[in-house]
């Protein structure tokens, strides 16, 4: 195997193929920047934390690496339901990178190599290897492209524009040309990063401190979270003066001067975008977050901008606590080439060239977590194909990873794709706390999790089951003392005997309140949280499980890849074009393509029935107006 790129996608892809028994070489343009975090050195958040837990359950490395390198960790959205609660960790940028590099260097079958790939070598419809800028030709049975934001990357800082990758790394032109010559369609996307400041120049007395939480379980279920003294993060806000400086210099931003042609992420906008699009807002949050244990450099989250350097300093000094700020790294916007991802199968292999896979930000996604998930899946499917085994494809009902990849290859990606809980239809089933129950069996079967690790998962969920059963068998009688205790803890007195499970189902009840009534439990806090969620949301979970059953009925209706949708009358012209471009694998996937209406799906269902009656022959029968001719 050859993996191009040692970012978050490349690392997971290479570790997967090496652990599946294949000799794997990873080419990176800078060995010192393996698993680099060029933007905020944080992992997790809504949707993203779910991806990391799923990566870990499948045997990936991101969760363990984060637990090793974290400086500050907490759970977000605790006032909301369990489906959207998410871990988020601030990590030491250098420690994260160096620990991941050590993992790669020590992995049998894996070879880390500094080198810039200029061309993909293809013979017929199969990949054969790569050509380096040094002239070296390296052959392989498969190639995974995980180049991130480095292809023809261009930095913008006000009126200044220059070729560079993130954090002053080099860019590459040859690979973009090679892909275009092979017939791939590329597009331009844009992202950005805020200034970094010297911590000694900040006045923290004017900011709000944000403490981490003493959690016992981190992103990886394979061991407890290492306990350490956590650093503080800080919160401050922009104000009217900040916005006035931006408004007066809007014409000098690369974004609004017309210098940037690439489309940026809607859900991680620059400060200029926020001020223009939300003119009624007087302030926006700014998080001050450390970059590492042994550096004074801090990240000013929320201040991403493409302003000139002189204006950046003026703007940042209008913010409380940052009046005397010393900027160590200026903010910038970056444009880069990426692939239009509908050219990929759900395995992340290209449709046109066998053995060539793409993973990460080159597929139009944003974020370390989205990249790592794609890298893991590309590596797994690459290995399975060379072993002549069936592909490993997760459905939207099975994992956030399934939602991510299905969206990328099915939907029109008009901006950098960001994983969010709102994109998952069955998010109550896909919580971050049950990723190991959902996916560990696959990790074991793929050889990426040991039997011992899988057995630990089984013991954990057996413990959950026993605790729920025990609560179901515990009876609480409506005595005077019990009802008095219920009133004191803010609950309603009992009218009849109930089980502990029924009582815990009450919205106001919790484990600590049950214990006040006499319940004794030997399970740890993490198990208690899972049990409480499973009991309180049992009705909603059953409802989503019924919805999944309906969803799967459409997913199992397969669409032959050879179908010529242009020959099927009754389909709208737009549907024909979109179906020909995406080539969906099922009716379910077809229904999620923008431009394919319910009427078009009805036509396809009739057409499939015609094919079935024709015993599978490649029929040219036509369907018109929902009726067969």
Select from 516, 543, 570 the last residue of a domain. Answer: 543
CATH code of 493's domain: 1.10.10.1800
Q: How confident is the model at residue 259 (pLDDT cuts 50, 70, 90)?
A: confident
**Torsions phi, psi for 331 (to 5 deg):** -70, 160
Contacts of 613 (CB under 8 A, 6+ apart): none
Q: Give percent above pLDDT 70 in the chain.
A: 98
**Residues 30, 152: one domain?**
yes
617 pLDDT exceeds 50? no
Which pair of tokens denotes residue 118?
A: 């200029």
> pLDDT > 90: what percent of the chain?
81
Does residue 620 carry a pLDDT above 50? no
Judge whether residue 395 has pLDDT over 90: yes
Query: Cβ(126)–Cβ(353) under 8 Å?
Result: yes
Q: Is residue 84 part of a domain?
A: yes
* 391 close to 377: Cβ distance less than 8 angstroms: no
CA dist 88 to 44, 83, 85, 361, 365, Å?
Answer: 4, 15, 10, 21, 19
Tell me the pLDDT band of 626, cut-offs 50, 70 and 90: very low
User: Looking at the structure, do residues 155 and 31 belong to the same domain, yes or no?
Assistant: yes
Q: Is the Cβ–Cβ distance between 487 and 464 less than 8 Å? A: no
Helix axes 525-536, 451-473, angle to 10 degrees: 60
Q: 27 with 139, same domain?
A: yes
Confidence of residue 609 (pLDDT cuts 50, 70, 90): confident
Query: Does 342 lie in the same domain as 327?
Result: no
CA distances from residue 629 to 564, 568, 619, 626 in whole angstroms, order as listed: 17, 11, 13, 10
Calculate mean pLDDT across residues 90-100. 98
Contacts of 140 (CB under 8 A, 6+ apart): 1, 2, 25, 127, 128, 129, 130
Question: In the prediction, which pLDDT does 492 show?
Answer: 93
Q: How many CB atoms lie within 10 A of CB 24?
A: 28
Question: How high is the pLDDT of residue 419?
Answer: 94
For 29-54, b/e burial (b = at least 16 CB within 10 A) is beeebbbbbbbbbbbbbbbbbbbbbb
Per-residue pLDDT at 619? 42
Whole-number Å distance between alpha carbons of 62 and 59: 9
Query: What's the CATH code of the domain at 179?
Result: 3.50.50.60
Do 232 and 133 lie in one domain? The reply is no
In sequence order, which residues have a C-beta less than 8 Å from that of residue 440 and are 6 or more positions away?
Answer: 57, 58, 221, 449, 453, 454, 457
Contacts of 472-476 with CB under 8 Å at 24 or more apart are: 472/499, 472/500, 472/501, 473/499, 474/499, 474/500, 474/501, 474/519, 475/499, 475/500, 476/500, 476/503, 476/517
Q: Are 107 and 8 members of one domain? A: yes
The CATH number of residue 243's host domain is 2.40.30.260
Query: Is residue 454 included in any domain, yes or no?
Result: no
Q: What CATH number should be reported for the domain holding residue 623?
A: 1.10.150.570
Count other C-beta atoms under 10 Å from residue 469's C-beta: 11
Number of domains in the chain: 4
Q: What is the dihedral of CA 547, 553, 559, 560, to 10 degrees?
A: 140
Query: Six-digit token pair at 511?
Result: 């484990």
Answer whether residue 292 shows pLDDT above 70. Answer: yes
SS3 52: helix
479 and 490 in a common domain? yes
Residue 255 falls inside a structural domain? yes
Measured CA to CA, the distance from residue 90 to residue 232 in angstroms comes to 10
- When pLDDT is averaged across residues 231-253 and rounded to a whole number, the result is 96
Domain final position from 267, 299, 332: 332
Tokens representing 7 are 């970012």
Q: What's the pLDDT score for residue 615? A: 44
Last residue of a domain, one of 279, 300, 332: 332
Mean per-residue pLDDT over the chain, rounded? 93
Q: Are residues 352 and 412 in the same domain?
A: yes
pLDDT of residue 616 exceeding 80, the answer is: no
pLDDT at 101 over 90: yes
Q: How confident is the model at residue 266 (pLDDT cuts 50, 70, 90)?
A: confident
Q: How confident is the model at residue 611 (pLDDT cuts 50, 70, 90)?
A: confident
Same domain, 155 and 14: yes
pLDDT digits (tens, 9 = 90+) for 316-372: 999 999 999 999 999 999 999 999 999 999 999 999 999 999 999 999 999 999 999
Position 618 pLDDT exceeds 80: no
Please identify which residue in the block is written with the tokens 């399934």.
402
In this predicted structure, what is the pLDDT of residue 260? 83
Q: Are 184 and 350 in contact (CB under 8 A)?
A: yes
Kindly indicate the confidence band of residue 413, based on its pLDDT and cuts at 50, 70 and 90: confident
d(CA 440, CA 449) in angstroms, rounded, equals 7
**Residues 178, 205 share a domain:** no
pLDDT of residue 521: 86
Inform me whether the pLDDT recorded for 425 exceeds 50: yes
Q: Which two tokens stand for residue 303?
A: 């201040």
With tokens 């099915």, the residue in question is 410
Q: Is the dihedral of CA 247, 250, 252, 253 positive or negative?
A: positive
Q: Reading across the β-sheet that carries 2-4, which strands appear in turn? A: 110-114, 24-28, 2-4, 143-145, 356-358
Question: Has residue 475 been placed in a domain?
Answer: yes
* 548 found inside a domain: no
On whether residue 613 sits in a domain, the answer given is yes
- Residue 621 pLDDT class (50, 70, 90 cuts): very low
Q: Alpha carbon of 327 to those of 37, 238, 364: distances in Å?
A: 19, 17, 31
The more confident residue out of 554 and 194 is 194
Q: Which is more confidently placed, 245 or 627?
A: 245
Contact criterion met (CB below 8 Å) for 582 and 344: no
Residue 438 CA to its chain's centroid (Å): 17
Query: Does residue 581 sit within a domain?
Result: yes
Helices (H), 325-450: 368-386, 400-410, 435-445
With cut-offs at 50, 70 and 90, classify the pLDDT of residue 175.
very high
Residue 258 has pLDDT above 60, yes or no: yes
SS3 576: helix
Nearest residue to 173 via CA among 160, 186, 161, 183: 186
User: If you average pLDDT over residues 97-118, what whole number do you get?
Assistant: 97
Pairing outcome for strands 186-193 and 196-198: unpaired
Are 313 and 246 part of one and the same domain?
Answer: yes
179 and 85 together in one domain: yes
With 0-12 CB in 10 A as exposed, 13-18 as middle and 19+ as buried, what is 556?
A: exposed
> 132 forms bridges with which residues in the sheet?
117
Bridge partners of residue 339, in order along the sequence: 186
Closest-CA residue to 175 (of 230, 134, 119): 119
Does 450 reside within a domain?
no
State the pLDDT confidence band at 554, using cuts at 50, 70 and 90.
confident
Residue 350: phi, psi to the nearest 5?
A: -70, 150
How far from chain centre, in Å, is Cα 173? 27
Q: How far apart are CA 559 and CA 583, in angstroms?
A: 8
Tell me the residue range of the domain where 219 lies. Answer: 196-332
C-alpha–C-alpha distance, residues 95 and 238, integer Å: 31
Residues 6+ apart with CB under 8 A from 128: 121, 122, 139, 140
């Amino acid at each position: 195997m050859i993996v191009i790129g040692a970012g978050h996608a490349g690392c997971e892809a290479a570790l997967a193929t090496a652990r599946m028994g294949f000799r794997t070489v990873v080419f990176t343009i800078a060995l010192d920047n393996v698993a680099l975090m060029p933007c905020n050195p944080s992992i997790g958040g809504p949707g993203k934390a779910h991806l990391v837990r799923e990566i870990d359950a499948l045997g990936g490395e991101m969760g363990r690496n984060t637990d090793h390198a974290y400086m500050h960790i907490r759970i977000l959205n605790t006032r909301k339901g369990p489906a959207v609660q998410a871990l988020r960790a601030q990590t030491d940028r250098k420690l994260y990178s160096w620990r991941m590099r050590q993992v790669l260097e020590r992995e049998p079958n894996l070879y880390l190599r500094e080198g810039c790939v200029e061309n993909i070598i293809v013979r017929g419809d199969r990949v054969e290897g790569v050509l380096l800028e040094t002239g070296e030709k390296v052959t392989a049975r498969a190639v995974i492209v995980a180049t991130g934001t480095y292809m023809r990357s261009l930095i913008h800082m006000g009126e200044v524009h220059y070729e560079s990758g993130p954090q002053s790394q080099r860019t590459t032109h040859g690979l973009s040309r090679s892909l275009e010559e092979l017939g791939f369609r590329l597009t331009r996307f844009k992202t950005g990063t805020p200034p970094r400041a010297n911590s000694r120049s900040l006045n923290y007395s004017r900011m709000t401190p944000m403490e981490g939480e003493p959690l016992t379980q981190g992103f990886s279920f394979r061991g407890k979270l290492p306990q350490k003294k956590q650093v503080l993060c800080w919160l401050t806000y922009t104000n009217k003066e900040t916005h006035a400086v931006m408004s007066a210099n809007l014409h000098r931003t690369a974004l609004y001067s017309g210098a940037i042609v690439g489309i940026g992420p809607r859900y991680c906008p620059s400060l200029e975008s926020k001020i223009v699009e939300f003119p009624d807002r007087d302030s926006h949050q700014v998080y001050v977050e450390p970059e590492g244990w042994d550096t004074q450099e801090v990240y000013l989250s929320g201040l991403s901008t493409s302003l000139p350097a002189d204006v950046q300093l003026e703007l940042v000094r209008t913010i409380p606590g940052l009046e005397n700020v010393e900027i160590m790294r200026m903010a910038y916007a970056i444009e880069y080439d990426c692939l239009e991802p509908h050219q990929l199968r759900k395995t992340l292999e290209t449709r046109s060239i066998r053995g060539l896979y793409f993973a990460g930000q080159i597929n139009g996604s944003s974020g370390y977590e989205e990249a790592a998930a794609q890298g893991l899946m590309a590596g797994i499917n690459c290995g399975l194909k060379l072993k002549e085994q069936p592909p490993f494809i997760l459905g939207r009902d099975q994992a956030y990873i399934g939602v991510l990849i299905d969206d990328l290859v099915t939907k029109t990606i008009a901006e950098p794709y960001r994983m969010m809980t709102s994109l998952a239809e069955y998010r109550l089933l896909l919580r971050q706390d049950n990723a190991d129950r959902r996916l560990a069996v696959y990790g074991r079967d793929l050889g990426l999790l040991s039997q011992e690790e899988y057995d630990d998962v089984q013991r954990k969920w057996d413990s959950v089951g026993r605790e729920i059963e025990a609560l179901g068998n515990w009876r609480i009688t409506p005595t005077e003392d019990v009802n008095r205790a219920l009133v004191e803890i803010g609950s309603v007195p009992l009218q009849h005997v109930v089980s502990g499970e029924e009582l815990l189902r009450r919205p106001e009840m919790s484990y600590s309140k049950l214990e006040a009534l006499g319940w004794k439990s030997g399970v740890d806090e993490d198990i208690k949280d899972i049990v409480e969620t499973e009991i309180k949301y049992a009705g909603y979970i059953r409802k989503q499980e019924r919805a999944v059953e309906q969803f799967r009925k459409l997913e199992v209706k397969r669409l032959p890849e050879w179908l010529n949708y242009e020959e099927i009358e009754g389909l709208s012209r737009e549907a024909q074009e979109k179906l020909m471009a995406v080539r969906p694998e099922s009716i379910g996937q077809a229904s999620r393509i923008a431009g394919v209406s319910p009427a078009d799906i009805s036509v396809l269902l009739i057409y499939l029935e015609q094919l079935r009656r024709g015993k599978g022959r490649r029929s040219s029968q036509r369907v018109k107006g929902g009726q067969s001719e």
